[in-house]
Amino acid sequence: EVQLVESGGGLVQPGGSLRLSCAASGFTLSSYLMRWVRQAPGKGLEWVSSIVGGGASTYYADSVKGRFTISRDISMNTLYLQMNSLRAEDTAIYYCAKSLSETGHSPADYWGQGTLVTVSS
């Protein structure tokens, strides 16, 4: 059974950093493209970042480029999102999601339950 469990969210001050983790089970990260998608409180969905199954290519939304870094540890089967220089507008529930295939052009078919990041002083 595919499971994705996010952790690492919390309250952080503007300009601070957080690292989110997404522990995957039931499949191998290296075989699928993985994504982070966020949802501000009461708002819609926003794609944040993707990493292809082989890990060679990563992609970012303009709103986080240069501040966030996606990575994964195949041995731990865990996906990460390092978030630096956090802003109030980064406040959201962050979901990790598995895609249907190893590369792009496939939608996310499994999502974690999300972890809440709140950026506030």
Partner 1 sequence: EILLTQSPGTLSLSPGERATLSCRASQSVSSNYLAWYQQKPGQAPSLLIYGASNRATGIPDRFSGSGSGTDFTLTVSRLEPEDSAVYYCHQYGTSPLTFGPGTKVDIK
- Nearer to partner 1 (CB atom), residue 86 or residue 108: 108
Instruction: Say whether residue 21 binds partner 1 (CB under 8 A).
Output: no
Q: What is the dihedral of CA 44, 72, 18, 16, to 10 degrees?
A: -100
Q: How many CB atoms lie within 10 A of CB 56?
A: 7
The residue from 22, 95, 115, 117 that contacts partner 1 (CB under 8 A) is 95
Range 47-52 contact pairs with CB under 8 angstroms and sequence separation of 24 or more = 48/81, 48/94, 49/81, 50/99, 50/104, 51/79, 52/102, 52/103, 52/104
Query: Which helix (H) or strand (E) covers residue 59, if one does?
Result: strand 58-60
Nearest distance from C-beta of residue 111 to partner 1, angstroms: 4
Q: Which stretch binds partner 1 (CB under 8 A): 8-16, 17-25, 56-64, 68-76?
A: 56-64
Instruction: Say whether residue 44 binds partner 1 (CB under 8 A).
Output: yes
Instruction: Say whether residue 107 binds partner 1 (CB under 8 A).
Output: yes
Query: Which chain residues interact with partner 1 by CB under 8 A?
Result: 35, 44-47, 50, 59, 61-62, 95, 100, 104-109, 111-114
